[in-house]
Amino acid sequence: MPAVPMQGKREIMDYSERGYGDGEIGWGEKPGVVVVDFQRGFTDPAFRMGGADMIDRAVDRTVEVIEAARRAGFPVAACAMGYQSVEAMPYWKIAPLREELFEGHPSVELDPRIAAAKPDLVITKTAPSIFFNTPVAQFLVKQRVDTAIVTGCITSGCVRASVIDAFSLGFRTIVPEDCVGDHEEEPHRANLRDVERRYADISTAAEVIAGFERLHNSAARA
């Protein structure tokens, strides 16, 4: 079969020229915060996967967001990842997950800063997304949440998976950049850039806290 001739050279276009990232999703009427995997295994330098500066910064900023959410009356759900046995795990390609993240192991404990902030719901998950086979979506729906503020780690892994599920479940999705962290800067930036093209607005902790205050004050005046 003869090749179909090209109709001239096609212009090389980037994502924005093709219409990706067109505008913002914006806020709804009631936000809720989800905190993904800020557990000691990823935050404590005593563990192989813990101690990254970017993740440590993200924990501190997330505590500020949780405290602001609680002042404004918005719900907070947090998770840690843990398993009953190696047999109960998916086929992870990450050695420390297979060695440490078992129920009862210190690596599965919430980071003390997150635990002290007292999320309304804390669950243990077994898949990357905080929403997959967990009660978190039902919890947010019960609270009439329409906007998910996604925080946590790792940006390129479980955070990204949670963002996609929040989007798929119909939540407006906002990611404060300084409330998520990765082991390396490049995948952190690349994945935030990519989800911003498709699924979520990228913001900051300060902007999210201001949004909480604006919504709370507006409700108080109503």
CATH number at residue 91: 3.40.50.850
Range of the domain at 160: 31-221
Domain for residue 72, yes or no?
yes
Per-residue pLDDT of 30-81, as tens digits, reads: 999 999 999 999 999 999 999 999 999 999 999 999 999 999 999 999 999 9
Give the bridge partners for 39, in sequence order.
110
The predicted pLDDT at position 190 comes to: 97
Whether residue 103 is predicted with pLDDT greater than 80 in this model: the reply is yes
Q: What is the DSSP letter of 201?
A: E
Q: What is the DSSP letter of 211?
A: H
Question: What is the secondary structure of 102-145 as a DSSP string?
Answer: BTTSGGGSBPHHHHHT--SEEEEESSSSTTTTSSHHHHHHHTT-
Alpha-carbon span 135 to 79, nearest angstrom: 11
CB 174 within 8 A of CB 201: yes
Domain for residue 156, yes or no?
yes
The predicted pLDDT at position 41 comes to: 97
Domain for residue 207, yes or no?
yes
The predicted pLDDT at position 23 comes to: 86
**For residue 49, which of 122, 99, 84, 13 has the smallest C-alpha distance?**
99
CB 127 within 8 A of CB 82: no
CB 125 within 8 A of CB 79: yes
Domain for residue 206, yes or no?
yes
* Structural domains in the chain (count): 1
Whether residue 3 is predicted with pLDDT greater than 80 in this model: the reply is no
Domain for residue 84, yes or no?
yes
Amino acid present at 97:
L
Whether residue 133 is predicted with pLDDT greater than 70 in this model: the reply is yes
Whether residue 167 is predicted with pLDDT greater than 60 in this model: the reply is yes
Distance of CA 84 to the CA centre of its chain: 24
User: With a threshold of 0.75, does the pTM exceed it?
Assistant: yes
Domain for residue 16, yes or no?
no
